[in-house]
Structure 1
Amino acid sequence: MSSEQPQLPLILEPDTLAAHLDDPHLLIVDVPLKAESYRDGHVPGACFLDYRQLLAGSGEVPNDVPSPAALSELFSALGLTPETHVVAYDDEGGGWAGRLLWTLELIGHARCSYLNGGIHAWRADGHPLETTPNTPAPSDYQAEYLNPGVQIRREELLERLGSRDLAIWDARSDAEYRGLKGDNRKLGHLPGAVNFDWLEVMDSQRDLRLRDYAELVAELEARGITPDKEIVTHCQSHHRSGLTWLAARALGYDKVRAYPGSWKEWGNRDDTPVEH
């Protein structure tokens, strides 16, 4: 067992993680949509994170970013240290895992990976599971928004609508995008936004891993989402767009941001323009 920090890629295959399970620098976090997924069997050593701890707010926007104090408490409970390499995964193809990695990016914690395909790929590849919960040794982690540019707020989006150097990636379904479905006061999409459903980013034939990178790049470029632009991605609550933010990062797009308020905020205000 090496005492050196693992040099692991952003997108981590199950076989590679399996070879590093004993590494003391690893913190494996299971952040499932359904809590029973963790109880039914998780990656050995993984600890459970309730995805609701990645959200803050109330009323019409219950999905904003937690305060630095709340994130300090959360990541201290998880035992995070500056030397920790976090491996995140979930049970649904990367939404909540992506939101966790985005939150870590926001506080400047760069040592992160996503287990490609999450628990589905881990199981399908025949790797061992455990059902005993793991409780990490707590740390004293002081979180700050060291990388605030990874998020974009409503006010800046309003100012920059129509900018040629901005591409808005709406990760919701086609029906939500076109205003045919939704539970907001206003239905539709941000002016100029393009739609690429998060479900189209994952490969259902390969246990919900990310799709072939060349295919994804071609699909994005066909929609005008190109590396020369700043990319902003969102969904209804910055859950599905956790995956699309992560995918854009994996594809090498440097200027990727997410709008945590997402349509929950935009679609429930009087001062936000909407297209159908």
Structure 2
Amino acid sequence: MNTDKRIILILNSIIIISIFFSFTVLANSERGFENPELLISAAELNEKLENENNKLKIIDVRNSARYLLGHLPEAVSMWQDDFSNPEGWVEGLIAEPEAFSAAVKEKGINNDSEIIVYDENSGIWAARLWWIFRVYGHQNVKILEGGYDNWKAEDFETKILPNYPEEGNFVVKDVKNEWIVNSDTIAENLDNENFVVLDTRTEAEYLGEETNSGAPRKGRIPNSIHLEWDSVLNEDYTFKSAAEIQKLYEEKGITKDKEVIAPMCHTGVRAAHSFLALKLIGYENLKLYDESWVGWSSRSDLPVEKK
């Protein structure tokens, strides 16, 4: 191939990539997200893979059995044990910085990596890992919208053999403690109208009709507001538009001018998804209640409401 043809081919490739990226950005901007960069589509991720981005690291946040049945090319597997604290006073708490650094480093991830996380479809576990990366100072992390199901629906390439990369150099260098709130602070603000506790569990859990393992009591935190975590999703697990999501929250009195909005659930997983949804539409006053219902219900000194 002569030089002129090679230059034309390169220029055409650049134009195609630019057009594709523009369409992806437009699709998210049409939904009105203030922070559309938190999500990535299957088509956009596939384009990145085809262009062999060496800094790109993909994390599969499903259990190992599902990972071995099929996963994205180059994806490594991480599950809740890799990013939870086994010695926490309640189950599911965020992993300590040193332990998280070691687990992430083992997966070949570096401090300058562009990280994409995905789960089966809803983004619930991907959002949890996204939140932890962000708490620990790594900003360049996105969620594959629609997860593995969407990737498969687009008929993009999958792999079965596990990926064992060389060790990375990831180290937690910063901690955004302001993104976390504990039980004592929640208790101190039970009557504060500008401090919203957002309960993202099911209605049955919120009403005290049922609960999950690890919680000794059923019920809810007094004055908490209920909106189930998946209310913000369409049937195909993509996010609704910003206007639709904001309406859902504002109808519950959860507005951007509140002093604090603290999502919670059973162990902080569903809460992380709601944290992400609020971030997408530009809410900034967010603190995840990581101890969540397991933590609150385990303390007999804290009040509980039912129905």
Q: Is this a same-fold pair by TM over 0.5?
A: yes
After TM superposition, the structure 1 stretch with the greater mean CA deviation from structure 2, 123-132 or 10-19, is 123-132
State the match for 2:181 in structure 1. 152
After TM superposition, the structure 1 stretch with the greater mean CA deviation from structure 2, 79-88 or 10-19, is 79-88
State the match for 1:174 in structure 2. 203
Residues 95 and 240, structure 1, Cα contact 8 Å, conserved in 2: yes
Aligned counterpart in structure 2 of residue 235 of structure 1, from 247, 265, 269: 265
Query: Is 1:119 matched with 2:113?
Result: no
Query: For the pair shown, which has the larger CA radius of gyration, 1 or 2?
Result: 2
The within-5 A match list for 1:42-191 is 42-58=71-87, 61-183=90-212, 184-191=215-222
- The Cα shift of 1:60 comes to 6.7
Residues 97 and 242, structure 1, Cα contact 8 Å, conserved in 2: no
Identity of aligned residues (%): 27
The number of equivalent residue pairs is 270
- The Cα shift of 1:103 comes to 0.6
Give the gaps of 5 or more residues in structure 2. Answer: 1-9, 11-20, 26-35
Supply the AA of the counterpart residue of 1:87: I
Residues 68 and 145, structure 1, Cα contact 8 Å, conserved in 2: no
Supply the AA of the counterpart residue of 2:66: S
Structure 1 stretches of 4+ with a deviation exceeding 4 A read none
The structure with the greater share of residues assigned to helix is: 2
- The Cα shift of 1:242 comes to 2.1
State the match for 1:261 in structure 2. 291
Residues 105 and 150, structure 1, Cα contact 8 Å, conserved in 2: no
In structure 2, distance between residues paired with 1:198 and 1:92: 14
State the match for 2:233 in structure 1. 202
Query: How large is the RMSD of aligned CA atoms in angstroms?
Result: 2.1
In structure 2, distance between residues paired with 1:165 and 1:115: 33
SS in 2 for 1:267: helix
- The Cα shift of 1:31 comes to 0.5
- The Cα shift of 1:152 comes to 0.9
In structure 2, distance between residues paired with 1:213 and 1:41: 32
Supply the AA of the counterpart residue of 1:244: S
In structure 1, distance between residues paired with 2:243 and 2:155: 28
Residues 111 and 171, structure 2, Cα contact 8 Å, conserved in 1: no
The alpha-carbon distance between structure 1 residues 60 and 107, as it changes in their structure 2 partners (threshold 3 A), is: closer
Residues 121 and 209, structure 1, Cα contact 8 Å, conserved in 2: no
State the match for 1:29 in structure 2. 59
Supply the AA of the counterpart residue of 2:65: E
In the superposition, the TM-score normalised over structure 1's length comes to 0.91
State the match for 1:9 in structure 2. 37
Deviations for 1:63-93, whole angstroms, at most 9, x for unmatched residues? Answer: 1121121112112112222211111110141
The alpha-carbon distance between structure 1 residues 36 and 201, as it changes in their structure 2 partners (threshold 3 A), is: farther
